[in-house]
Each structure stands twice: as structure tokens, then as C-alpha cells.
Amino acid sequence: MAFEEEQKIFNSFVKEKGLKQSKQRDDILLTFLKTEKHLTADELHSLVKKKNSSTGIATVYRTLKLLCECGLSSELRFGDRAVRYEHFYGHEHHDHLVCVKCGNFIEAVDPEIEKLQERLAKKVNFSLQGHKLLMYGVCSKCKK
Amino acid sequence: MAFEEEQKIFNSFVKEKGLKQSKQRDDILLTFLKTEKHLTADELHSLVKKKNSSTGIATVYRTLKLLCECGLSSELRFGDRAVRYEHFYGHEHHDHLVCVKCGNFIEAVDPEIEKLQERLAKKVNFSLQGHKLLMYGVCSKCKK
DNA sequence: GTTGAATTTGATAATCATTATCATAATTAA
DNA sequence: TTAATTATGATAATGATTATCAAATTCAAC
Ligand SMILES: [Mn+2]
Ligand SMILES: [Mn+2]
Ligand SMILES: [Zn+2]
Ligand SMILES: [Zn+2]
């Protein structure tokens, strides 16, 4: 595992905030980093429990919040109920094309779309900080 | 009030589905149409109760689902918890720039962005049906 | 208009994701 | 080691939405 960089970011952030390190947070961070998916808190909790079955779901929620705050993770909301978390640090920004039939999604980015969003924001005197673009439709597999 | 067109759409849809008309649904539809806002089910329920205080929240949820199905309304999810509903019929498609400071939003659309989304979808052999673009940042008022 | 089968309704319970609470355990600076 | 502070996990609480169900209503057929 070569997540020293991410771990350093997290530990520095925790210290900066006057918080303390813990075994649970380390486990949760490592499990999150090892799993290159868009997980819900519950799914991540299941994975973490394989290593340390006593870890509580509340701590997973608390840690995910910290991961988002320090820039290692980012929230994602598809149509379904639960929030999903994806890797943020060291990952290019991308948008998602979600298939309404199978639920799978494709990650993609169009630099021109990104630029035009800036232009659109300027037009209404809005300081753009970020965006979430979800495209819905049918993926190639589901088109039969 | 000149919502005959919308009411006709709704009543036809209800009949098509083998459902029945009701006073409550009529009230909810009219209140929704009169209020040109992005309401939550709860907010709409409050408005409807001013006319008919006995209307239940469950019926508001049920009716909003029908309104979305027949194309009169459309769901909207900002960062907050509750789903919001906006007018869909007779309204141009638009995206939203949400201010992270005051919570207000601007509606805007860029035809070029729309086109480029189609191009992006084609590139990955995806049949695009729709999209939700949320842009986050600071609005002109909050910039001081 | 009456009837009767089907749908609708509102109150309320249930669900689901998330957050709050709190007593106990772990961390850490001194 | 101490002692103050934070972290943890079990569990309760919350908030939005959905499910349940008995009673009310709609409406097509008589
Ligand atoms: Mn992604
Ligand atoms: Mn809008
Ligand atoms: Zn698919
Ligand atoms: Zn603002």
C-alpha cells in the first residue's frame, strides 16, 4: 500500500483541528483508499468490519465527514437515497453518466463544458466553486 | 387562473391510468401551479392546508409523484435533504447556480453546454435522456 | 339516482439514512 | 503517570418518505 501521502494529509488535518488520531479512523481511511469505488457509508462500514468487527457505523459517518473536509473524498448523490463517497485527492474531476436501466455509470469529462460553465457563471456575476453534472440515459450495454 | 391546459393533461393522465379524480388532487395541482417556486412536499402541504386544512401529507406526496409522471413537474435535489419540485410543463429546461452562502439560486442555460453533453454521450455510446447540472459558488449579492 | 366495485384518503406506523446523546475508553501533552 | 480532552459504539432521535388500512369517495353500469 502506498497511501503515505493521503495518510499524511489526513493526520495533518486531524492535528490542525485539535483532534486526536485513532485506530478506527486509520482503518476507515485505509479501507476507503483501497476500495476504488463509489461507496455508501453503510457499504464502507461492512468492509471495515471485516478487519475490525467492532467498528461502529457512527464512526464511519464521522470519519467520512472528515475525509471530505480535508479533500480526500467527495460526496456524490445519484437518484437513490444514500450519499456516496468517491476518491477526490489525486483524481481528475469528472462527471457521471448514469444508466437508468442498470444503474451503472460512466465517468467522463469534457474540458469545453467545464470552460463554458465558467463563462455562464461570469455572465450572472457568480463565483463558481464547483459543480455536479449528472447525465441520465441508457448505457451501451443496456441498448442491447 | 388559466391552468386549463395543465389540468387537462393531469386529468387525461389520471383517466389513462385507470385512476379517479379527487378534490384533493385538484387542490394540490392548482396550488402547485399558482406557486411558481421550488417547493418541498412539506411546503406545498402547508399551502394546500390553507384552503383545505384536512388534506394529508401522504396525499401531497402521492400527487407530486403523479405530477412528475405526467410531465407537469420535475424533481430537484440541491444539497439539502428534501426533494424539491419545480414546474416542468411549458418551462424551458434550465440549470441552477446555487449560492453556498445564502442558499438562493439562479436559473440559467447555455445551449452550447447542452450540445456538448450530447457529444460527450455519443463518445461513450450512451443514449442521453436528460441531465441535472448544479453549479455551486457565491452569488453576486453575497460577494458583498 | 342507486348500486357496488374500485380507488382515494388521512392517520399512523414503518422505513431508511443520518445525526445526537452519553457513558466509557483511548489519546496525548505535560 | 496524570489528567484533560477527544473518540468510540450502542442506542435513541430525527426527518423525509413510503406503507398500511379502515373509512370515505368516485364513477361506470344499471
Ligand atoms: Mn466518479
Ligand atoms: Mn428551476
Ligand atoms: Zn445500463
Ligand atoms: Zn448568495
Max CA separation in chain B (angstroms): 55
> Which class is domain B95-143?
alpha beta
pLDDT at A102 over 80: yes
Phi, psi of A124, deg, nearest 5? -110, 20
Cell of A57: 457505523
The confidence score (pLDDT) of residue B139 equals 95
The confidence score (pLDDT) of residue B2 equals 81
pLDDT band at A80 (very low <50, low <70, confident <90, very high): confident
pLDDT at A83 over 90: yes
Measured CA to C1', what is the nucleotide nearest A58? D9
In this complex, do B143 and A127 lie within 8 Å of one another by their Cβ atoms? yes
How is residue B18 annotated by DSSP?
T
pLDDT at A115 over 90: yes
Domain ranges of chain A: 4-87, 95-143
The segments of chain B whose pLDDT lies below 70 read 1
pLDDT at A69 over 80: yes
Amino acid found at A71:
G
* Fold for the domain defined by A4-87: Arc Repressor Mutant, subunit A (1.10.10)
Task: Give the pLDDT confidence of B68-106 residue by residue, as tens digits.
Answer: 999 999 999 987 789 999 999 989 899 999 998 888 899
CB of A37 closer than 8 Å to CB of A64: no
The confidence score (pLDDT) of residue A63 equals 98
Distance B138 CA to ligand 4 centre (A): 5
Q: Is the CB of B57 under 7 A from strand D?
A: yes
Q: Is the CB of B96 under 7 A from strand D?
A: no
Distance B127 CA to ligand 3 centre (A): 10
Nucleotides of C under 7 A from a protein CB: 6-12, 16-21, 26-29
CB of B137 closer than 8 Å to CB of A123: no
Q: How far apart are CA A41 and CA A57, in angstroms?
A: 8
The confidence score (pLDDT) of residue B43 equals 96
Q: How far is B77 from chain A (nearest CA, A)?
A: 9
Q: How far is B119 from chain A (nearest CA, A)?
A: 9
Helices then strands, counting H and E runs in chain A, come out as 5, 6
Q: How far is the CA of A83 from the C1' of D7 (A)?
A: 24
CB of B97 closer than 8 Å to CB of B106: yes
Cell of B85: 419540485
Cell of A96: 457521471
The confidence score (pLDDT) of residue B1 equals 61
Quick one: closest CA in A to B108, which residue?
A120
* Pairing label, strands B95-99, B127-138: parallel
The confidence score (pLDDT) of residue B107 equals 95
The percentage of residues in chain A with a pLDDT greater than 90, rounded to a whole number, is 86
The confidence score (pLDDT) of residue A1 equals 61
pLDDT band at A98 (very low <50, low <70, confident <90, very high): very high
Q: pTM for the whole thing? A: 0.89
